[in-house]
Structure 1
Amino acid sequence: MIKVYYGSAIIISFVGLILIIAWKLLNWAWLKPKKLENKLREQGLNGNSYRPLYGDLKDNFKMRDEAREKPIPFTNDYITRVLPFLHQHVGKYGQNCFTWLGPVPTINITQPELIREVITRINEFQKAKTNPLVRLLFPGLVSLEGEKWAMHRKLINPAFHMEKLKLMLPAFRASVTEMTDKWENSMSETGSSELDVWPDITNLTADVISRAAFGSSFEEGRRIFELLKEQTQMTIRLFKSVYIPGWKYVPTKNNRQLKKIDEDIQALLKGIIDNRKKAMDAGEAAKNDLLGILMESNIKETQLSQSHGNNKRLLMSFRDIIDECKLFYFAGQETTSVLLVWTMILLSKHQDWQMKAREEILAVFGQNLPDVDGVNHLKTVTMILYEVLRLYPPVLAVSRRIYDQDTILANKLCVPEGAMVSLSIYQVHHDPKLWGDDVNEFKPERFSEGILKATKGNLSFFPFSGGPRICIGQNFAMVEAKIALAMLLQRFSFELSPSYTHAPTTSITLEPQYGAHLIVRRL
């Protein structure tokens, strides 16, 4: 009798568990999305009706894949190639529309006043908690929230102060010199050569990050970049599918491979950090690279915390330091490489601005190696880089999600709990209402009096995001780009090769799909 009772209880419990799981899946996959859709439509927002699980994902990637098959004429208006689904969607439903990222509705936001509110209200509008396997590529500061984010930001900040960047200058110059020497050696007796500069630019920025992050350990850094490239390609494939809660625990081939790559990267970083910690424990001074500055900052803040009676362990754990180094590797390399390559492409197209930039560089430095103080006097170069960032932002959109409760923006838009907002950097940077009818023309003179004057006080230029979560490495990226560009223009001129094919495309960042084929001439 007792056995029958317990057997029945187990069956009832099992059936109850199945029903609970089924209800949660039904709510996640259908009931909640439809509820959110009704809330958005009640406000006058429009978009496709929700389709179970995938939403607009399949259409989005199908149109993007089709667009990638054809290059375009040289134009700075390339939305139909990189964001064809959004372009069609806005044409159909207007700027105030929403799309479906799987079962999550995403509101497209292009109004500067709404963007300003989203990026400043960081406790309400948080980073989207995406597929945990995707987050392997973006650990550290970029994915943290709340108190831990604030603490990490405080500890990392010293590494990006200008006085610290000055100490990294030899690493910048050494890497650029290696690349330019290689170009010189490849040139014929005529002093010119056709080069696809894109692979060399990516190798350059990888080398700079390796040296700046780990000093003399930059050879080890190259292996980390190889693994990151492999992890990036696998992560891009994940974007095309809907993540089902708990799927990361299923031992599929893809899941196992992603985790193995992550473990290999962590092991390499751990070895570098272990060696540095042993040296510091033995009394060696902290080095002036990212790792040394980060470890020194962590120790100082921990000692300060302990002196005030807080006996916590190190504020940043060993794993935290590994995650931050990994993020610096990926984000630092990607951002600067795309900024540099599009700058070279646009200066090849616009020879007048190339000449103006070279004249300024020679007036400031002559043939001497650039230094940070001189870089601050490169007004024309700064204008050019800003205009490149406007026309070809490394990332085309920034997204945030509401997790706690419905939130009102600027007293006119209610973002329901569970929905996302997408701040379209591309659309804002190419909006004729904000920039004028010549919005798609390359005109660096827009920034002759700085960003504030160029934007008329609007938040219409945010290539590094903005607000409290603005990219912590933006100064690093800008100084690196200026140093590299100055050294290149001191030694070479360049123009578009007849074999150059204009094909902006996105993987994680905005890249030239077929490379950047230029005619490079020794001066």
Structure 2
Amino acid sequence: MGAVVVALAVVVVSWLWAALVHLVWRPYAVARAFARQGVRGPAYRFFVGNNEEAKAMRAATSGETLDLRSHDFIPRVLPHCRKWMSHYGKVFLSWTGSTPTLFVGDYDMVKRILSDRAGLYGKTDPGPDIMALLGMGLVFNEGDDWARHRRVVHPAFAMDKLKMMTGAMAACAGEVIRAWEARATAATSGEVTVEVGQLFTELTADVISHTAFGSSYRQGKDVFLAQRELQFIAFASINNVRIPGTQYAPTKANVRRWQLERKVRGTLMAIIDERLAAAKEARGYGTDLLGLMLEANSDSAAAATAGGDHRRIMNMDEIIDECKTFFFAGHDTTSHLLTWAMFLLGTHPEWQKRLREEVLRECGGTEAPLHGDALNKLKLVTMVLYETLRLYGAVTMIGRRAMADADLCGVKVPKGTVLLIPIAMLHRDEEVWGADAGEFNPLRFRDGVGRAAAHPSALLSFSVGPRSCIGQDFAMLEAKATLAMILRRFAFEVAPEYVHAPADFLTLRPMQGLPVMLKLLDP
């Protein structure tokens, strides 16, 4: 009995010592090491780090609104970043629980992190809530798994394949626009007010349903609604201290997440099974994104069988995870790009007029069909979309983790440190973007993205380097097609009841939607 007590005491003491090292000694040592290098930040608080401070600052600014001509939403959305950066500089240390978190507001450091090919700066652990939303696809995979997924998925995003999807994109947008036309025609004034944010969300979900899964929004609605709820579950937990094992506890949030995960998987599995059955009957996999991915995977499987290398193949769970990524990333970020582009054009009528003239010149009138080659000639539209991404990019911050001790442009970063890149703040850096960094000026992109700022990789909305977004051409093509169709039929302005209060729910959106007054143009 005595031996058992002694053994138990040893275990308890060992556990307490490990906890003391992790929660007290290491944070102190890491903070001291960074301070010796001139990198400081808010003081570490036992166990919770700076999470509670950040949450309190966000809550304090959540009721603030902006003037329509102001694009500086940082004090509203990232007040803690603004405060700490003003006190400690562009590079500072904070704490997510007991994890050291280095805010990297220096473009040279950002380039070093994002251009890494050696696996030194890996993706951060997204946690179970975000994993349920996006799956373990290209977004979070690392090393050989990432390369294997990229090899299978990449053919689906080749430009020649995307151009073939322009018709489906235009057809989906056409349904929405015809509904607007009917409402405007019925109105005596020829004008109608529409909340475009939710409509763009449904439109882009319809587009990704058609182009990725060969189905309609109604058929993919279960996935859409489930992922929407998963997104809010993930956002609600984003600043919580993560305690190991709690993701398995049958809490209300966890039970709901498990239910939604099963619904998403079941819906996607049914779609995939139909494709596999069609392929067995020699009808092919289809020409949409899912079909192209399944075909590429089948080709990899054949090559693996011939060469004995089965590491090239994606299994069914991995295909489902990529489908989750397709569906969420393929509609959520694009819907916000369209929403904010409408806001900017609705508050800058001179630019709206210039874009309309370009669209009519390059794409023809309302009856002319849209095609990819014409959309690629829309230089002004492209410039406005890039400026929209700069000022109102869907993702305000991205993270990486030091997988080993690293030297980051002269700053020694210990293994396990999280590196946060505040994209929204970098996009407003006057040293890089000029004195007008806070203003809407699409002409800064007249010579292309690489020459828009003092740093060639300054626009980070799609990231840069080997892990840049594989779907960026898809998003830009869809946004061009939708905007072109709207500009041909309507003049618009932001409605008086609009409240300018950008909010970050994993992606940036207007807090209360975007009501827009549409005026039907003469045919």
Shorter-chain TM-score range? over 0.9
Unaligned runs of 5+ in 1: 1-6
The residue that corresponds to 1:445 in the other structure is: 443
Aligned partner of 2:520: which letter? R
1:378 aligns with 2:375: no
Change (3 A) 1:13 1:186: farther
Residues 33-75 of structure 1, C-alpha deviations (whole Å, 9 max, x = no match): 2222222111111111110121111111221122121212120
Distance apart, 1:328 and its partner CA: 1.1
Residues 67-94 of structure 1, C-alpha deviations (whole Å, 9 max, x = no match): 1212121201221111111111112222
Change (3 A) 1:397 1:89: same
Distance apart, 1:111 and its partner CA: 1.8
Cα distance in 2 for residues equivalent to 1:229 and 1:48: 34
The residue that corresponds to 2:479 in the other structure is: 481
The 3-state SS of whatever aligns with 2:456 is coil
Cα distance in 2 for residues equivalent to 1:287 and 1:168: 13
The residue that corresponds to 1:497 in the other structure is: 495
1:520 aligns with 2:518: yes
Aligned partner of 1:55: which letter? G
Residues 380-435 of structure 1, C-alpha deviations (whole Å, 9 max, x = no match): 1111111111111111111111133x10022x111111111111211211011111
Aligned partner of 2:194: which letter? L
Conservation of the 8 A alpha-carbon contact between 1:220 and 1:268: no
Cα distance in 2 for residues equivalent to 1:9 and 1:167: 74
Cα distance in 1 for residues equivalent to 2:18 and 2:255: 27
Cα distance in 1 for residues equivalent to 2:23 and 2:287: 50
Change (3 A) 1:171 1:20: farther
Superposition TM-score, scaled by structure 1 size: 0.95
Cα distance in 2 for residues equivalent to 1:57 and 1:463: 25
Q: 2:92 aligns with which of 75, 80, 97?
A: 97
Cα distance in 2 for residues equivalent to 1:447 and 1:306: 48
Cα distance in 2 for residues equivalent to 1:16 and 1:166: 66
The residue that corresponds to 1:153 in the other structure is: 150
Distance apart, 1:132 and its partner CA: 2.8
Cα distance in 2 for residues equivalent to 1:456 and 1:243: 39
Q: 2:462 aligns with which of 461, 464, 487?
A: 464
Change (3 A) 1:314 1:408: closer
Change (3 A) 1:217 1:518: closer
The residue that corresponds to 2:20 in the other structure is: 26
1:59 aligns with 2:58: no
The residue that corresponds to 1:401 in the other structure is: 401
Distance apart, 1:170 and its partner CA: 2.4
Aligned length: 514
Distance apart, 1:20 and its partner CA: 3.8
Aligned partner of 2:380: which letter? T
Cα distance in 2 for residues equivalent to 1:351 and 1:133: 41
1:114 aligns with 2:114: no
Alignment of 1:88-487 (within 5 A): 88-122=83-117, 123-139=119-135, 140-187=137-184, 188-216=187-215, 218-310=217-309, 312=310, 315-367=313-365, 368-404=368-404, 406-410=405-409, 412-487=410-485
Distance apart, 1:13 and its partner CA: 4.5
Aligned partner of 2:241: which letter? V
Residues 179-204 of structure 1, C-alpha deviations (whole Å, 9 max, x = no match): 11111122213211111111111111
Unaligned runs of 5+ in 2: none
Identity of aligned residues (%): 36
The 3-state SS of whatever aligns with 1:141 is coil
Distance apart, 1:11 and its partner CA: 4.6
Aligned partner of 2:236: which letter? R
Distance apart, 1:314 and its partner CA: 7.1
Conservation of the 8 A alpha-carbon contact between 1:127 and 1:143: yes
Aligned partner of 1:357: which letter? L
Aligned partner of 2:256: which letter? Q
Conservation of the 8 A alpha-carbon contact between 1:63 and 1:85: yes
Distance apart, 1:309 and its partner CA: 3.1
Q: CA RMSD in A?
A: 1.6
Cα distance in 2 for residues equivalent to 1:48 and 1:489: 48
Change (3 A) 1:29 1:171: farther
Conservation of the 8 A alpha-carbon contact between 2:275 and 2:286: no
Distance apart, 1:218 and its partner CA: 4.0
The 3-state SS of whatever aligns with 1:229 is helix
Cα distance in 1 for residues equivalent to 2:411 and 2:98: 21
Q: Which moved more, 1:151-160 or 1:124-133?
A: 124-133
Residues 194-231 of structure 1, C-alpha deviations (whole Å, 9 max, x = no match): 11111111111111111111103543211111011111
Q: Which moved more, 1:375-384 or 1:211-220?
A: 211-220
Superposition TM-score, scaled by structure 2 size: 0.95
Aligned partner of 2:508: which letter? L
The 3-state SS of whatever aligns with 1:137 is helix
The 3-state SS of whatever aligns with 1:283 is coil
Change (3 A) 1:168 1:88: same
The 3-state SS of whatever aligns with 1:369 is coil
Aligned partner of 1:481: which letter? A
Distance apart, 1:469 and its partner CA: 0.3
Residues 222-251 of structure 1, C-alpha deviations (whole Å, 9 max, x = no match): 111101111111111111211111221222
Conservation of the 8 A alpha-carbon contact between 1:113 and 1:458: no
